[in-house]
Structure 1
Amino acid sequence: MVKAIPKQFKESVQEVKEIGFCPFKLQSVKAVHAKLCVSRPTWARKEGVYGKWGWSDDDVCAAFRLHPSCMSLMEGKIESVMSFLVNERGFEASHVARCPVVLSLSFGKWIVLVLKSKGMVKKVSLSRIFKCDEKLFLNMFIYCHDEKELTGH
């Protein structure tokens, strides 16, 4: 016997379908999970945090479609990563909206931004930096430099 689907789950599935998720794709499962785990007031606060950085409602929606977990992050994490990328590294907030996976990553991969600022990494896109696996990342951005280059000594 099939149990009745809870109302909140049905509503979340309907919302992600309306946003444009295909219900048969893994990404839609992640979106439903995010919708179920984040209360409406908290969701609105997170939209406000992104809005503070200049994201429109469409930017938030597009970022959510690309990386649903961006709405599951702690507000402090969103603030600190956005501040780092925009204020310290000079990226435009709109670029982060187009590559929201960067908001969820550990600090380890941020080192490439330091290398870039030292001129040790030339033109490279955010998605190229943050979507590669650890081995490729290390080969592309770390192992190709000697210790003197990395430390400046």
Structure 2
Amino acid sequence: MAGAGGKRIAKELNEATNPPLPGIQVTLGEDSDIHHWNVIIEGPPESPYAGGLFKLLLVLPTEYPFKPPKINFKTKIYHPNVSNDEHGSMCLGMLKGDQWKPSTKIVGVLEAALQLLSEPVPDDAVETGIAEVYKNNRNEFNKQAKEWTKRYAK
């Protein structure tokens, strides 16, 4: 862990784990690399993801906090803002290069990811087909999201 960036990351890791955030668990990977956080998000009770546990990987670049972290779903999820491929890339406005602010805290990023499960943003979708279902047939969206949650988010 080198320099000011490492100190800030250590401080933010502490903020994310002591006390734990509601609905979010954070641990470091096997090698305890402070730049790789394993995150588990609980599907919010009022959402079609309720009861699911979603694994995410948050990677902090060496230029953090001047460059945004990357956050990817490791658990498949039926969601307009998460890519449906093996990458599970998440579209979160605050993480886009032109919107990222070095003052943004990782806790805020994790809370925004959790919020996205309650309130998808279909107008900023990476999966446009799922966004269309979300906008035009909410019952079908909820049904698919619940089925995927049962199948993948254990």
Task: Give me the TM-score of the superposition, normalised by structure 2.
Answer: 0.31
Structure (1/2) with the larger helix percentage: 1
Structure (1/2) with the larger strand percentage: 2
Q: Which has the larger radius of gyration?
A: 1
Looking at both structures, which has the greater relative contact order when contacts are Cα pairs under 8 Å and sequence separation is at least 6?
A: 2
